[in-house]
Amino acid sequence: MAAPGVQQFDAEAVNAAETRELYQKRQQIYPKLAHGKFRFFKWAMMAIALGVYYLLPFVRWERGEGMPDQAVLVDFANSRFYFFFIEIWPNEIYYITGLLILASFGLFLATALFGRVWCGYACPQTVWTDLFIMVERFFEGDRNARMRLDKAKWSFDKAWRKISKHAVWLIIAAATGGAWILYFHDAFDLLENFFTGQAALSSYLFAGVLTFTTYTLAGTMREQVCIYMCPWPRIQGAMTDREALNVTYRFDRGEPRGRHKKGESWDERGDCIDCKQCVAVCPMGIDIRDGSQLECIQCALCIDACDDIMKKIERPTGLITYETDDNVDRYAAGEKPRYRFIRPRTLVYAGAFAIVALFMLGALVTREELQLNAQRDRNPNYVQLSDGSVRNGYNLKVVNKAGEPRELELTLEGADPAMQVRVLGAAADTPMRLPVGADQTQDFILYLTLPADAIDSQREEFVFRVTDPVTGETATTRSVLVTGVNP
């Protein structure tokens, strides 16, 4: 017999490398509940991730009169994106591109250092699947009970457990889809409208779609999402190397494996007693002892399971552990482990990350809240008036990204002093005053007329400038007046 408390599992890795076929019907995986520090860490990560996801839409952030006060808001109706103190306009969508680049370089770096930590702890697929398995375990029991229940004939007991499980899954899925839409409208308003049937059709549609995807991806598809749908396992294969920390089976310690009775000698054999606890807890249905593989999301639950056993059979823990491939080889050769976290690969990733981060920071710090664009009419290109003077029309676009309305002063720099300016709609006493509302883009129609005797070239170049007399902010744009004179 093995040491007390060690249960010998007759677990088969349903997704084991050897038995995998080119086409195989999916076999249900029944992950056993693990106990230990990584399981605790995963619970904590789940609580944080779900907490952020569900509570963030309700966090408020004061922005001033007439502006939304939701901290994180994607406002499609007014084409604005708000993230705490950051406000992004559609023409600043490259911030999002920058964020995505940051996220990918961050993932590259983390993967090169610690393997697939994203997959194992933070990926929504992992978090929600973990949550769904928790619900499943609550109603149907742990691995063996679930296997028995699935094999059992239909009975009242089986029916209520199954129905309750799916009901709770659906509630969670609906709450997931319901929280998603809160990021796109004011959360409190939308919640009220949603339940009184007043919300937009798109709200119900997206809530429904996300309910469906959450239910299927986390409830019924689970590991297949990671193995077949997600591109990241392939990409990460190129990101890790023999010096990255991965969840690894120490074959140098474990082999030759075999069952072990209490009191037997540990000489001439490995520490692995082939209890298959690592297989039983694996949510991906693999055997970590086959080495690192595409399916492994590195959730480290096998580490918890194995450490548990090692304590019981009084062997050192860490038979399965975060370790590099090179170090396992070194252990096998009787050498000391060496860790090289600073290596060309990590330096390149970290460098790229830093450059993009600096660029983004620079763009954010130097973000202008006042912008000016001038679009000269091309049709007609110019208008000759009866007295021989020439007029050009312009569409002046003033962008005010500040939360305050402004009264801007328009000036023309480098223009012929004889040039006459007419701003359509300007008050007679302040012909060069351009009022722009808070957080708005305002168009002005502008006519510039050059008298006949001042025309001396094909085109007159000048600069439009708007100045906020209150803050001193200013914005310029170059423009020309076409006279229609032949060269």
Partner 1 sequence: MSDKNEIDRDDHTGTETTGHEWDGIKELDTPLPRWWLYIFYATVVWAIVYMVFMPAIPGLPGMAADGDHTRGLRNHSERVNVVAALEALEASREAGYAALDGASISEIENDPQLLQFVTAAGDAAFGDNCATCHGAGGQGFVGYPNLNDDVWLWGGSYDAIRETLLYGIRAEHDMTRFSQMPAYGRDELLTTAEIEAVADHVLSLSGQGEGNAQGAQIYAQQCVTCHMEDGRGDRLQGAPNLTDREWLYGSSRDQVINSIYRGPYGVMPAWEGRLDDRTIDALAAYVFLLGGGEAATAGPTGQ
Q: In the complex, which residues of this chain contact partner 1 (CB under 8 A)?
A: 377-380, 383-388, 391, 393, 424-425, 427, 442-443, 445, 447
* 90 versus 425: smaller Cβ distance to partner 1: 425
Q: Which helix (H) or strand (E) holds 303?
A: helix 301-312
Q: Measured between alpha carbons, how far is 156 from 454 in angstroms, rounded to an integer?
A: 97
Rounded to the nearest whole angstrom, what is the least distance from the CB of residue 426 to partner 1 in the complex?
9
Rounded to the nearest whole angstrom, what is the least distance from the CB of residue 447 to partner 1 in the complex?
5
* 293 versus 440: smaller Cβ distance to partner 1: 440
Contact 190, 181 (CB under 8 A): yes
* 264 versus 453: smaller Cβ distance to partner 1: 453
Contact 283, 223 (CB under 8 A): yes
Helical spans, DSSP H, in 313-393: 325-332, 344-365
* 164 versus 442: smaller Cβ distance to partner 1: 442
Sheet holding 80-83, edge to edge: 72-75, 80-83, 86-88
Rounded to the nearest whole angstrom, what is the least distance from the CB of residue 395 to partner 1 in the complex?
10
Rounded to the nearest whole angstrom, what is the least distance from the CB of residue 13 to partner 1 in the complex?
27
Q: Which helix (H) or strand (E) holds 261?
A: none
Assign residue 285 a region (left: φ > 0; alpha: ψ between -120 and 50; beta: otherwise).
left
* 104 versus 442: smaller Cβ distance to partner 1: 442
Q: Which amino acid is at 56?
A: L
* 379 versus 486: smaller Cβ distance to partner 1: 379
Instruction: Provide the token pair at 472.
Output: 């001193």
Rounded to the nearest whole angstrom, what is the least distance from the CB of residue 224 to partner 1 in the complex?
15
Which single residue is written with the structure tokens 């906020």? Answer: 468
Cβ contacts of residue 118 below 8 Å, gap of 6+? Answer: 107, 110, 111, 232
Rounded to the nearest whole angstrom, what is the least distance from the CB of residue 414 to partner 1 in the complex?
23
Helical spans, DSSP H, in 64-200: 94-114, 117, 124-140, 143-151, 156-181, 187-196
Contact 434, 423 (CB under 8 A): yes
Q: Per the omega criterion (within 30 degrees of 0), is the bond before 380 cis?
A: yes
Rounded to the nearest whole angstrom, what is the least distance from the CB of residue 448 to partner 1 in the complex?
10
* 309 versus 423: smaller Cβ distance to partner 1: 423
Q: Per the omega criterion (within 30 degrees of 0), is the bond before 256 cis?
A: yes
* 152 versus 445: smaller Cβ distance to partner 1: 445
Q: Measured between alpha carbons, how far is 375 from 393 in angstroms, rounded to an integer?
A: 9
* 377 versus 404: smaller Cβ distance to partner 1: 377
In DSSP notation, 27-59 reads: ----PPPP-SHHHHHHHHHHHHHHHHHHHGGG-
Rounded to the nearest whole angstrom, what is the least distance from the CB of residue 173 to partner 1 in the complex?
23
* 25 versus 153: smaller Cβ distance to partner 1: 25
Rounded to the nearest whole angstrom, what is the least distance from the CB of residue 389 to partner 1 in the complex?
9
* 178 versus 393: smaller Cβ distance to partner 1: 393
Rg (CA), the chain: 33
Rounded to the nearest whole angstrom, what is the least distance from the CB of residue 473 to partner 1 in the complex?
22
Interior CA angle at 44 toward 296 and 130, to 5°? 45
- Do the bridges between strand 390-400 and strand 440-450 make them parallel or antiparallel, or are there none, so unpaired? antiparallel
Rounded to the nearest whole angstrom, what is the least distance from the CB of residue 190 to partner 1 in the complex?
25
Q: Which amino acid is at 4?
A: P
Interior CA angle at 43 toward 42 and 47, to 5°? 115
